[in-house]
Structure 1
Amino acid sequence: MNGRYVSHDTFTIKKIYDATPATVYAAWADRKAKTRWFQKPIEFDFQVGGRETNRGESPEGSVYTFDARYLQIIHEQRIVYAYTMDLEDIRISVSLATVEFKPTGDSTQLIFTEQGAFLDGYDTSAIREQGTNTLLNNLGEELRRK
């Protein structure tokens, strides 16, 4: 036994933002806007087949790399992308993420669903969901500043 294994899981996070779907969508689609709430991208090509890559450092000094490919983009309605997450030079997960933008009166319901393969115990669905929740809260703060 080499200690390698995969844990599969899915989580969904729903948020209501006091902004139109166009405004919430733009926060994902525009490089400058996304940098304010997500992470400054190394590469950002927001189109089907395009790539987004960024790196971040944990408080302990570990470097994480997010590398995504956009698979479907329906303007102001849905974004689907596949991405890998690496810790230093170790692949820790592979995921499919879907972001939906639903109008609810004068607000937007964002529905984020991630289907992940978490590799060899380096990451878990619970940790990823917590991190994604933090990012989506950052998005809410960014939208309130507007």
Structure 2
Amino acid sequence: MTETSLTHATFSLEREYAASPPRVFAAWADPEVKARWFAGPAAEYELDFRVGGHEIVRGRDPQGSALTFTATYHDIVPNERIVHTSHLYDGEVLSTVSLTTVEFLPAGEGTCVRLTEQGAYVVGHEQPAWREQGTLDQLTALEAELRPGADRDEAVSDN
């Protein structure tokens, strides 16, 4: 039997956006919008945003290895909270299993997104610092998606 070591870690990130909670939440719920900031242009992306629904991202890392991210949604409270579990595979090898909670909190005229991830990271395949940096990069991409005047879909407009 092959023994594989795990590292367990939790990180929390907060980011404020100059957009209302419904607008920020919509950027997580709309497949076309989320694909732009979460998956990037070179990835295959699927999103079934409902409790019990799944999200799948297939792409490649900078070295060309196939990566697959899968998530299952367990709790969705519109404009307030999303809870999902996810797996990251490097080829056929499991790299990470995690529980993620995303909260959408009013912050003045904008929104504070608080994201907490609890993960089990397979040593030699993933590190908590890598995952945290990747999540920070996605939250930065979301900021560009929500920027006032950005040429984006009606799906993320304030209503």
TM interval, shorter chain, is over 0.9
Structure 2 unaligned residues grouped into runs of 5+: 153-159
CA distance, structure 1, for counterparts of residue 133 and residue 76 of structure 2: 25
2:79 to 62, 70, 76: 76
Which residue in 1 is equivalent to 2:15? 15
Q: Which stretch has the larger CA shift, 3-12 or 75-84?
A: 3-12
Q: Give the TM-score normalised by structure 2.
A: 0.88
Q: Which runs of 4+ in 1 moved over 6 A?
A: none
1:81-138 C-alpha deviation (Å, 9 max, x unpaired): 0000000110001000000000011110000100000013310111100000000000
Q: How does 1:44-55 map to 2 (within 5 A)?
A: 44-55=47-58
Q: Where is the strand percentage greater, Structure 1 or Structure 2?
A: 1
CA distance, structure 1, for counterparts of residue 62 and residue 6 of structure 2: 26
Q: How does 1:1-146 map to 2 (within 5 A)?
A: 2-39=2-39, 42-144=45-147, 145=150
CA distance, structure 2, for counterparts of residue 81 and residue 110 of structure 1: 15
Q: Which stretch has the larger CA shift, 16-25 or 115-124?
A: 115-124
Structure 1 unaligned residues grouped into runs of 5+: none
CA distance, structure 1, for counterparts of residue 23 and residue 33 of structure 2: 10
CA distance, structure 2, for counterparts of residue 41 and residue 50 of structure 1: 17
CA distance, structure 1, for counterparts of residue 21 and residue 117 of structure 2: 20
CA distance, structure 1, for counterparts of residue 141 and residue 55 of structure 2: 19
1:58-92 C-alpha deviation (Å, 9 max, x unpaired): 12111110000000000000000000000011000
| Alignment check: 8 A CA contact 1:41 1:55 kept | yes
CA distance, structure 2, for counterparts of residue 63 and residue 41 of structure 1: 11
| Alignment check: 8 A CA contact 2:13 2:114 kept | yes
CA RMSD of aligned residues (A): 1.4
- Percent identity, aligned pairs only? 44
Q: Give the TM-score normalised by structure 1.
A: 0.95
1:10-35 C-alpha deviation (Å, 9 max, x unpaired): 00010000000000000000011101
